[in-house]
Structure 1
Amino acid sequence: MIYNNIYLFQLNVGKFTCTQFQFAATTAQTTMNKAIQSMSASVQVNMTLNYSKDCPAG
């Protein structure tokens, strides 16, 4: 269920600004257990690479 939500969020991340996405990912990590935090961090890195062109430099 959580993985599906992250996947759907990944599909729709283009609708959010880079700042909003980073805030949401950071907020979600504070309530997740360590294993899910690791998965979330990996997803965040992948999204950052995939959507870096949409994020402001710096």
Structure 2
Amino acid sequence: MSKRNVKANEVILDQVEENQETIVETTEETVETTEEVVQEQAPETKEEMIQRLGNKSKTIR
């Protein structure tokens, strides 16, 4: 390969490496955001439901 081709390949490989790092960072941020949203929208735990329903039944009686 010519020196020019080698240099071009190095530039391309550097860009690929940068893109991979960006993909990893973006994926990590997406996972983090998804976990936050799931936590916010997650149904209450069994214990929380028992507590909530238990409190209502005591109020009704």
Give the alignment's TM-score, normalised by structure 1: 0.35
**Greater relative contact order (CA < 8 Å, ≥ 6 in sequence):** 1
Question: TM-score normalized by structure 2?
Answer: 0.33
More helix by share: 2
